Amino acid sequence: MTSSRAEVEDITEIETVRPALVTLTRDVREMQADLLAGFESRRAVLEWCQRLTVRTLGTLGDDFYRDLSRQFRGNDEGILLAALLTGKARTRDLDADVAHELRERLLARRLDPAFRTAFRHLRKDAGEYIDEAGEGDAHDPTRQNHLAMRPSLTEIDEYQADALDRLLDGLADASGILDWSKVLVLATHGEVERDFLARCYLEGSTQQLLTGTGPVDQRGRELFAAYHLLPRFNAGVRDLAGRSGELADAEQTTMEAKFA
Amino acid sequence: MSIDWGTTETATEAQKAAVLDQFEDPVRTTYQATGNSSRWTDARYMREAFGIPPWDADRFDYPGVIPNCWEHSWEAGGDRIAGGTDFLARGKPGQGKSTLANYVAIRQIEVNDEKVVWRGSSSRSEWLPLAPWTVLCLPEGVPISARLESKDPTEPAVVLDRDELEEIVREVRTYADPVDLNRQLDEGAFHVVYPDPLMRGCQEVYEASPERQYDTPPSRDTLFDEADPASHWWFAWVLARVEHGPHHWTTWIADEIGDIAPQSAQKDQFGTYQKVQLLKDTWVDARKFGLSIFLFGHSEVDIHQSVRHKIRWRIQMPGTSNPTSKNDVVGFESVPMDYDVCSHYDIGKALMYTETNFEPFRWKDIPAPTDYKLKLEVGQ
């Protein structure tokens, strides 16, 4: 992890005139470093995935998150999830080298192409700034608080983190579900079905899962977050980043006919 | 001289137990089975078991095509017609007709709380995926022979007695005649009905409708007779359902309709042609009395053209071109498709069309838990 951090700093020593791209790259490198270091808990994996949706601008397909959600089923985690977790956190027996290689492969096969697509999406409208050097340079990437210099992305990132946090902590009661849904709409940028809240609220088993205090409910909420929230978060970011048209076409080919 | 047929090897008790074990246990905990309305309905249970998304008419672009056929209502309005519906699904073997038939059965139970009646036949048991929820209806007082046969014909067959059938299906009921059967059907449940080879009550049902008159076959006094092929029982059943009710929503699912009313039906010694005419004449009333008839066949000529004229929806199964000219579809003044879209669909996707619109749709796989087929022969 430390070596990655060092590299991040190397890049920023070059004075850039296109800070949005550098900011994105820095964030991406942090994501990669976190991945390679492994996660301390299943919750940490979910939180990382949430940050991933924003930092890839939603270019990683929704199916990536759906596939990953399968890993959260059952008593033991799936093999990929086990590899994402550190040795202490996983319940499966997995060789440390194998786990590390799996993380690297995931990075090379899935994440890197998505980061690249995000970069190319951003490059066409990344602004150039030639400011006065010195203290007053507002475009110095190291001083950027916003993701890819886009405040709206930072905002959705915060809403998503909040919505996920609240869910994983467990909602207080049925009314809590209604409160939670307000954040959810913002966190998904509206990419949530009309009856999603109604189902969470009205279906007894779902309500129990969202509000229950037992370890089973806790586990269920993790799966719920992986299966229901992450793909919608991703779709929301994609919409926000103005990519909704392109990816929706790819989905259209498989979803074209409806279930009779 | 007589041939020595030998004896057929049948399974031992241990083998039988192993085969029965491959079947899912019957489901007897639902609302339909217990009468307790706080339980899941059969439809809900089936949908969960096979991962079928709930029905949502808004998914479709043309409400006149699939939603109109699936959703039954006594009131017409907008794109919707009143009463029962019908369709003919055509496609080559192995293109998912029987799976679609199971899927449609579940949908009908879910959407309309239908009494679904599956046409049972001695040589086929494509309904086995739904066996845990099945109410099996057999004619009373006739011997039953039930065998489970493996897909691998060298495996010994398993002979079941009547009671053992309830290790596969929820319940076995017996009926005296078509009218009696109709009174025993449950709303929101799936029934597999094997016809009565003795045709008991069929002639009486026919005679109770004096306005329906057809030529009696030569050298006999009645239209229905014990000597008729057992499948002729269905003509009397449709008539009994229409004339004598009960008129709850009922769906008749007739796989392999070519066995019953083919284009080649003749005025033979069984009066097949007359009975096809009877079916045709009953069709309009079937709609009015809430009986939906869903037919499955290999091609158009699997069903007689006088019946075909009455069928308002068609389904083209994948692997075969859909018709693009009205000349290909008897009873349609026009066909909405200009091009073949259907022949390269994968299994699990088909095209439904009416005279005005068409819309592709998908269905879920409804797998059977085992390769064994149930061969149920009645009256032998």
- Are the CB atoms for B297 and B318 separated by under 8 Å? no
Q: How confident is the model at residue B204 (pLDDT cuts 50, 70, 90)?
A: very high
Residue A245 has pLDDT above 50, yes or no: no
Q: B364 and A256: CB-CB below 8 Å?
A: no
Q: Residues of B with CB below 8 A from A256's CB?
A: 360
Which of A70-76's residues contact partners 24+ apart within 8 Å by CB, and which partners?
A71/A226, A72/A42, A72/A222, A72/A223, A72/A226, A72/A227, A73/A223
Which of A70, A194, A254, A258 would best serve as a mutation to test chain B binding (most B beta carbons within 10 A)? A258
- Using a CB–CB cutoff of 8 Å, tell me whether B67 touches chain A: no
C-alpha distance from A99 to closest chain B C-alpha (Å): 33
pLDDT in tens, B80-108: 889 999 999 999 888 899 999 999 999 99
Using only C-alpha atoms, chain B has a radius of gyration, in whole angstroms, of: 21
Answer whether B363 sits within 8 Å of A260, measured CB to CB: yes
- The tokens 């005139």 sit on which residue? A17
Sheet with B314-316, side-by-side order of all strands? A258-259, B358-362, B349-353, B314-316, B86-90, B291-297, B250-254, B115-119, B189-193, B134-139, B171-175
Average pLDDT, chain A: 81
Of A133-137, B19-23, B49-53, B218-222, minimum mean pLDDT range: A133-137
Please report whether residue A235 resides in a domain.
yes
**Chain segment A12-44, per-residue pLDDT in tens:** 556 666 777 888 888 888 999 999 999 999 999
* Helix A62-70 and helix A42-55, axial crossing angle in degrees, nearest 10: 170
- Amino acid A202 reads L
**Residue A257 forms contact with B (CB below 8 Å):** yes
Whether the CB of A259 is below 8 Å from some CB of chain B: the reply is yes
CB of A255 less than 8 A from some CB of B: no
Residue A260 counted as domain residue: no
A120-157 tens-digit pLDDT: 887 776 666 655 444 445 565 665 667 777 788 888 99
Beta partners for residue B305, in sequence order: none
In a domain, A21, yes or no: yes
Contact (CB<8Å) A257/B361? yes
Looking at the DSSP bridge assignments, the partners of residue B292 are B251
Task: Give yes or no for a contact between A28 and A115, defined as CB atoms under 8 angstroms apart.
Answer: yes
Min Cα separation A60/chain B (Å):
26
Interface touch B103/A258, C-beta < 8 Å: no
- For B345, which residue in chain A has the nearest alpha carbon? A257
Q: Is B50 on the interface with A (CB under 8 A)?
A: no
Q: Is residue A140 part of a domain?
A: yes
Q: List the structure tokens of B328.
A: 């290909």
Radius of gyration for the alpha carbons in chain A, expressed in angstroms and rounded: 19
* Beta carbons of A258 and B52 less than 8 Å apart: no
Q: Which domain holds residue A149?
A: 5-252
Q: Report the alpha-carbon distance of residue B330 to residue B308 in Å, rounded.
A: 6
Contact B361 A260 (CB under 8 A): yes
Question: Higher model confidence: residue A80 or residue A10?
Answer: A80
Whether B53 sits inside 8 A of A259 (CB atoms) is: yes
**Do the chains contact at B363 and A259, CB–CB below 8 Å?**
yes
- Asked if B361 lies within 8 A of A256 by C-beta distance, the reply is no
C-alpha span between A61 and A109 (Å, rounded) = 13
The nearest alpha carbon in chain A to B362 belongs to A259
Query: Of all residues in chain A, what percent are helix, strand and coil, respectively (each to 5)?
Result: 70, 0, 30
- What does the pLDDT read at residue B113? 95
Assess whether pLDDT exceeds 70 at residue B148: yes
How far A73 CA sits from the closest chain B CA (Å)?
16
* pLDDT attached to residue A253: 40
The C-alpha angle B213, B216, B221, rounded to 5 degrees, equals: 115
At residue A73, does pLDDT exceed 90?
Answer: no
Whether the per-residue pLDDT at B154 is higher than 90: the answer is no
pLDDT > 90? residue B190 = yes
Taking an 8 Å cut-off on Cβ atoms, the answer to whether A259 and B352 are in contact is no
Number of domains in chain A: 1
The pLDDT-based confidence of A47 (bands split at 50, 70, 90) is very high
| Cross-strand partners of B119 | B193
Number of C-alpha atoms within 13 angstroms, CB side, residue B272? 18
User: Which ipTM did the prediction report?
Assistant: 0.77
- Which of B52, B97, B361, B365 is the best substitution to test chain A (most A C-beta atoms within 10 A)? B361
CB contacts of A260 in chain B (<8 Å) are: 66, 70, 103-104, 107, 352, 361-363
Q: What is the mean pLDDT of residues B307-312?
A: 91
**What percent of chain B is predicted at pLDDT more than 90?**
63
Q: Do B107 and A260 touch (CB under 8 A)?
A: yes
Mean pLDDT, to the nearest integer, of B38-43? 92
pLDDT in tens, A144-199: 667 777 788 888 999 999 999 999 999 988 899 999 988 999 999 988 888 889 88
Q: In the predicted model, what is the mean pLDDT of chain B?
A: 91
CA A154 to each of CA A65, A159, A255: distance values in angstroms, whole numbers, following the listed order:
21, 9, 31
Position A247 pLDDT exceeds 60: no
CB contact under 8 A, B70 and A260: yes
Q: Does B92 touch chain A (CB under 8 A)?
A: no
List the single residue in A with minimal CA-CA distance to B108: A260
Contacts of B352 in chain A (CB under 8 A): 260
In this predicted structure, the answer to whether residue B376 has a pLDDT above a threshold of 50 is: yes
Listed by number, the residues of chain B in 3-22 with a beta carbon closer than 8 Å to a beta carbon of chain A are none
For residues A191 and B159, give the distance between their C-alpha atoms in angstroms, rounded to a whole number. 56
**Confidence band, pLDDT 50/70/90 cuts, at residue A248:** very low
Domain membership of residue A78 (yes or no) is yes
Span B165-188, pLDDT tens digits: 999 999 999 999 999 999 999 999
Place of tokens 């048209």: A245
Q: Do A260 and B53 touch (CB under 8 A)?
A: no
CA distances from B287 to A134, A193, B72, B268, B283 (A): 84, 36, 10, 29, 7
The answer to whether residue A184 sits within a structural domain is yes
User: Cis link prior to B246 (omega < 30° from 0)?
Assistant: yes
Q: How far is B364 from chain A (nearest CA, A)?
A: 8
Share of chain A above pLDDT 70, in %: 80
Task: Tell whether A130 lies on the interface with B, counting CB pairs under 8 A.
Answer: no
d(CA B119, CA B84) in angstroms, rounded, equals 18
**Token digits of residue B330:** 């008897």
What pLDDT sits at residue A166? 93
| Nearest-neighbour CA in chain B from A259: distance (Å) | 5
pLDDT at B207: 93
CB pairs < 8 Å spanning A and B: 25
Does a structural domain hold residue A28? yes
Residues of A in contact with B342 (CB under 8 A): none
> Does residue A257 fall inside a structural domain?
no
